[in-house]
Amino acid sequence: MANSKLDPTVPPGLHLVSAFLAMEPTDCLISMARACGGLVTERVQRFIWDYCISEAVGKGNAPYLKNFIKKLIFEIESSHSTVLEELYEQYGYYMTSLKDDISAKVNTRVCKCISFLFPHGCSGSPSCPVSRKLMVSLYCSLNMLEGDTGCAVWPSSLYLSEFVLSFPHIFSGKTCFEVGCGVGLVGICLSHVKASKVILSDGDLSTLANMKLNLELNQLRADTGKPERSVQDLNMVTYSKQAKAEMDNKSQVNCIHLPWESATKNELQEFMPEIVLGADIIYDPACLPYLVQALALLLNTKKECSDSQTVKYSCQGSFIHCNCINVEANDIDDGEASIACDLDGSKADQIGCQIDIGGVDGLQNGSANNGVKQGPVAYIASVIRNIETFSYFVQLAEQANLAIADITETQRPLELLPYMQSYDRSTQRTLFKNLSEMGGQTQGEVEVIHSWSAPRSLSTSIMYSFAQRDDMEVLDEPLYATFLKVTGAERPYRDEVLSKMESDPNKVVNEVIFGPGEKKYRFCKHIAKQRLPGLPNDLMKKGKHFILIRNPLDILPSFRKVVPPSFLELGLAELVSIYSDLSQMGKPPAVVDAADLQQDPEGTLRGLCKDLEIPFDDAMLRWEAGPKPIDGVWAPWWYKSVHQSTGFNQARKYPQPFPFSLYDLLEKSIPLYNMLRRHVRQMTGLLKSPLPPPDIPIPANEKLLAWVGDEILPRESAKVSVFDSVVQGGDSVWEGLRVYNRKIFKLDEHLDRLFDSAKALAFKNVPTREEVKKAIFITLIRNGMFDNAHIRLSLTRGKKVTSGMSPAFNLYGCTLIVLPEWKPPVYDNSHGITLVTATTRRNSPNNLDSKIHHNNLLNNILAKIEGNNADAGDAIMLDKDGYVSETNATNIFLVKKGRVLTPHADYCLPGITRATVMDLVVKEGFVLEERRISLSEFHTADEVWTTGTMGELTPVVKIDGREIGDGQVGPVTQRLQNAYKGLTEESGVPIPSYQQEEFE
């Protein structure tokens, strides 16, 4: 900064020059000069001389200049810097020529130049000049508090002017009437935003005369037509051609003398303004009854309408076209209300009128709204200096049936005077007045759309997106002040928020969030943690809600740039409870992921609109860059990057490294994010599966509980570590068990094989049999699975301390998984299945012994693929010598001439069902032979079946295209099926009931 060139067109040079032209207090100028370079260096002095002082010399305001130069020289000399020669010279000149400090005289007028500086991104606004600087010159008195007060530039005029320039649509093309116009600044701004007609009134003739001079100074023609009592003694000036052309392009401005005390109904109603404005008019209790009466008369204008709803009426001698219609209360639709003014006790005229709280673009399309013309409304900027006076005003207004709303928060103007240190915006309030409601009909009821999110989740972008809609007004975090007040949370802008926003929870909810509005919808951006206990229930009950989530991996790095993140600050837990509260109320909210908004803004917004049951609007896809009037006061801290955006930008292809100081917080947050993510309806994110969500074969299994390690978890959360041996190398053993009639069939036999397999693979820290049994029982009980269920029981070698093959890394002990599912037998056991022979050979003890029931199932899976390709139920696997071993999933039997044969368990799994069926074969009186069997023996068998826990006894009716027997389920098979069924019904280990203390 110290070495960069000062430029009068950009800050800080621009601010210094603007402050000088606006005749800001000299101390402010000095502090700004210091801000340009630390000390008031020669470079800064040169800048001040070139762009401020030398330009102003000889153009009046000498006392101000003298005072400024004096302070400047003092400042420079105090810091032992060299004072520019020109400054000494000019000061010397003033010392000799200006004897008195006439600035102290109360009636002295000076010419200030107020520069409205539009921020970046406002270029699209009709009120923003190409240079983004609007300069208004004003003759005004220097001393605000004595004598010539009407001619001072009051802060409320500055605020109301900012308001007019920030919301030009409200005023453009409208007849605007200012009560107590002072220096005329608001009128000049109204003309700038192309109000069709501007009527400026003041009760003081000298103020009015000064105002007229100001209009001329700013190339505005002041008509002094009707009423005749208006200013007569104003000087009319001669206009140049160019000035005339400029004026023709601007609004017609009328100046009228209007002391409130003597204003009559007829006189005031003649003006028929569409908008009434007033800056700092609530100050003198004695005047208030007259002021309120004048306002009521101005707001209660009745217009005669022709059939075509177009009426010409006379006002100030000129004709104005205006669409209007008289309406009955029940004609109103879409948030508009019919109203009556009952000013003098009788139910008076009815007129279409629209409440305009928060309606930034409110009046833009007003005349097209269901044929209801916008009724007159008033905007009053005020500083509440004395609460009693203000309350008196409110009381009078209520008596006059004027509805007042404080719209300071909902329609905050842009800060167009950033250089004006003497101007304290925070004390300003904007009041909005309208005629009160009638017949209990709600004025301008809007449908509220609540957006709930954690911070840094693109919530401001989505607010901007919704703000683009013509039918939408938006509120930026209306609960913020309440949150700060209740929690005491520290923020750099805490005081500002608390002074500018409503913090009473009831008022925020009832009057701000659900207060009347003029658009059909109101979008409320809420941050989840701001939903504190004690807020009125309506907040969740009323309106439509949606939840915007974002991966904490993205939230956390962004959040910490402004505030140190904490679990509470993130508010993800609150977001989850918002989801569940709403679901419990029977209205589960739509959930949108910020990543999806970035990836596919249109698709995601369309989906969201569908969920919210509102039409999608293309306008939601783009917005202007730069600050917006709807921004909360915290915008400078949080909205830097969103101000650069003009839509939902694609996320960067690669993220920044994650700050590991936030790792713990991430760990806590991710599960909550994932929980909500499961409810996202339209997912387009990075890792989204390209496939549509599949159907679960048995829908009842969508919701089940599985045991993993030492806990029971819902299906989607039941996961093993990426370090687990089963992931690293299929290093695990397993069993399939069945539950029949509250009993687990062959439980101990399965556990024997499980422990044998674990021992053969040298697992360490294996849980005990009792522990495994207990885990199985508890899991079944938790699921209420007592019949027709299958358990996939896995015991992995456990989690490793680092990835790798060696069991030496397994220092956590084994991982037990109990996965129960509802599952009837999986094959067609009534009609039989077909088999094909796979080329893949079953493992032999030479490499991996098939007696170990391990999870390294690729050998079998390859065979199963061959079976699938041949459209067969399963595939027969041969041993290394070409004899049949089993199928990829079951053991196998054949019947030839009344003898039952099955292969030796050398190359196959010694199945529990196999052993059970072998017993049954003997019990049923058949001859059983266990030997090597070749494939041709199976091709030519009378009957074939397979055995396994999952499928029980399954008849095989065709192998490799050869029909088995007559292709029907054979008699031996059927007999054994029945015997097996009987066994499963009567035997097994009972699942303990919760009444039992012991599990044995």
Ligand X SMILES: Cc1ncc(COP(=O)(O)O)c(C=O)c1O
The least CB distance from residue 666 to ligand X, in Å, is 40
Q: Select 593 or 886, whichever has its Cβ closest to ligand X.
A: 886
The least CB distance from residue 842 to ligand X, in Å, is 8
Q: Select 438 or 751, whichever has its Cβ closest to ligand X.
A: 751
- 604 binding ligand X? (CB under 6 A): no
The least CB distance from residue 754 to ligand X, in Å, is 11
Give the separation between CA 533 and CA 542, rounded to whole angstroms. 17
The least CB distance from residue 867 to ligand X, in Å, is 13
Closest CA to 191 of 256, 141, 126: 126
- 598 binding ligand X? (CB under 6 A): no
Give the separation between CA 863 and CA 866, rounded to whole angstroms. 5
> What is the torsional sign of CA 931, 937, 939, 942?
negative
Q: DSSP secondary structure string, 490-545?
A: --TTHHHHHHHS---HHHIIIIIISS--SSSEEEEEEEGGG--TTS-THHHHSSEE
Choices 116-124, 206-214, 811-819, 945-953 (CB under 6 A): range interacting with ligand X:
945-953
- 948 binding ligand X? (CB under 6 A): yes
The least CB distance from residue 969 to ligand X, in Å, is 20
Q: Select 590 or 876, whichever has its Cβ closest to ligand X.
A: 876
The least CB distance from residue 730 to ligand X, in Å, is 14
Give the separation between CA 603 and CA 600, rounded to whole angstroms. 5
The least CB distance from residue 704 to ligand X, in Å, is 21
Give the separation between CA 169 and CA 41, rounded to whole angstroms. 45
Farthest CA pair distance, the chain: 138
Residue among 589, 709, 767, 911 that touches ligand X (CB under 6 A): 911
The least CB distance from residue 909 to ligand X, in Å, is 4
Give the separation between CA 378 and CA 433, rounded to whole angstroms. 5
- 949 binding ligand X? (CB under 6 A): yes
Q: Select 381 or 909, whichever has its Cβ closest to ligand X.
A: 909
Residue among 142, 720, 889, 959 that touches ligand X (CB under 6 A): 889
Q: Select 523 or 980, whichever has its Cβ closest to ligand X.
A: 980
- 890 binding ligand X? (CB under 6 A): yes
Residue among 914, 918, 920, 991 that touches ligand X (CB under 6 A): 914
Extract the tokens encoding 262.
Answer: 């003597």
Q: DSSP secondary structure string, 285-327?
A: TTTHHHHHHHHHHHH-------TTSEEEEEETTEEEEEE----
The least CB distance from residue 888 to ligand X, in Å, is 6
Q: Select 409 or 886, whichever has its Cβ closest to ligand X.
A: 886
Range list of H helices, 136-254: 155-166, 168-171, 185-192, 205-217, 241-248
Print the binding letters for residues 813-852 with ligand X: x by CB under 6 A, - otherwise. Answer: ----------------------------------------
Q: Select 414 or 733, whichever has its Cβ closest to ligand X.
A: 733
Q: Select 465 or 890, whichever has its Cβ closest to ligand X.
A: 890
Choices 185-193, 379-387, 887-895, 970-978 (CB under 6 A): range interacting with ligand X:
887-895
For ligand X, the binding residues in 175-214 under the rule CB under 6 A are: none
- 874 binding ligand X? (CB under 6 A): no
Q: Select 380 or 751, whichever has its Cβ closest to ligand X.
A: 751
- Number of C-beta neighbours around residue 319 at 10 A: 9
Q: Select 405 or 875, whichever has its Cβ closest to ligand X.
A: 875
Choices 277-285, 477-485, 673-681, 946-954 (CB under 6 A): range interacting with ligand X:
946-954
Q: Specify burial of residue 843 (Cβ count, 10 A radius: 0-12, 13-18, 19+).
A: buried
The least CB distance from residue 587 to ligand X, in Å, is 47
Q: Select 311 or 760, whichever has its Cβ closest to ligand X.
A: 760
Give Cβ neighbours of residue 735 (< 8 Å, ≥ 6 apart). 750, 751, 753, 754, 791, 792, 793, 853
Residue among 191, 350, 891, 902 that touches ligand X (CB under 6 A): 891
Choices 248-256, 503-511, 622-630, 947-955 (CB under 6 A): range interacting with ligand X:
947-955
Q: DSSP secondary structure string, 460-479?
A: HHHHHHHHTSTTEEEEE-TT
DSSP 655: P
Q: How big is the site for ligand X, counted in residues (CB under 6 A)?
A: 14
Give the separation between CA 640 and CA 558, rounded to whole angstroms. 12
CA of residue 642 relative to chain centroid, distance: 13
> What is the torsional sign of CA 352, 356, 359, 361?
positive
Choices 521-529, 909-917, 935-943, 978-986 (CB under 6 A): range interacting with ligand X:
909-917
406 CB-side CA count, 13 A: 17
Say if CB 518 and CB 474 are below 8 A apart.
Answer: no
For ligand X, the binding residues in 338-397 under the rule CB under 6 A are: none
For ligand X, the binding residues in 735-754 under the rule CB under 6 A are: 736
Residue among 554, 886, 943, 952 that touches ligand X (CB under 6 A): 886
Main-chain dihedrals φ then ψ at residue 944, nearest 5 degrees: -135, 145
- 860 binding ligand X? (CB under 6 A): yes
Tell me if residue 249 falls in helix, strand or coil.
Answer: coil
- 854 binding ligand X? (CB under 6 A): no
The least CB distance from residue 891 to ligand X, in Å, is 5
The least CB distance from residue 914 to ligand X, in Å, is 6
The least CB distance from residue 878 to ligand X, in Å, is 13
Q: Select 829 or 947, whichever has its Cβ closest to ligand X.
A: 947
Choices 199-207, 800-808, 832-840, 906-914 (CB under 6 A): range interacting with ligand X:
906-914
The least CB distance from residue 860 to ligand X, in Å, is 5
Strand-by-strand arrangement of the 544-549 sheet:
472-476, 521-527, 447-453, 544-549, 590-593
Say if CB 747 and CB 988 are below 8 A apart.
Answer: yes
Extract the tokens encoding 960.
Answer: 């490799």
> What is the torsional sign of CA 14, 17, 22, 27?
positive
Print the binding letters for residues 680-719 with ligand X: x by CB under 6 A, - otherwise. Answer: ----------------------------------------
> Which string of b and e fits 760-792 if b means at least 16 CB within 10 Å?
ebebeebbeeeebbebbbbbbeebebbeebbbb
Closest CA to 193 of 238, 253, 247, 128: 128
Choices 153-161, 508-516, 894-902, 941-949 (CB under 6 A): range interacting with ligand X:
941-949
Tell me if residue 828 falls in helix, strand or coil.
Answer: coil
Tell me if residue 733 falls in helix, strand or coil.
Answer: strand
Which DSSP helix (H) or strand (E) runs through 452?
strand 447-453
Choices 15-23, 141-149, 412-420, 889-897 (CB under 6 A): range interacting with ligand X:
889-897
Q: Select 552 or 736, whichever has its Cβ closest to ligand X.
A: 736
The least CB distance from residue 737 to ligand X, in Å, is 8
Q: Select 607 or 911, whichever has its Cβ closest to ligand X.
A: 911
- 909 binding ligand X? (CB under 6 A): yes
Amino acid symbol at 612? L
The least CB distance from residue 970 to ligand X, in Å, is 21
Cis peptide before 12 (omega within 30 of 0): yes
Give the separation between CA 318 and CA 196, rounded to whole angstroms. 12
Q: Select 620 or 912, whichever has its Cβ closest to ligand X.
A: 912
Q: Which residues bind ligand X (CB under 6 A)?
A: 736, 860, 886, 889-891, 909, 911-914, 947-949
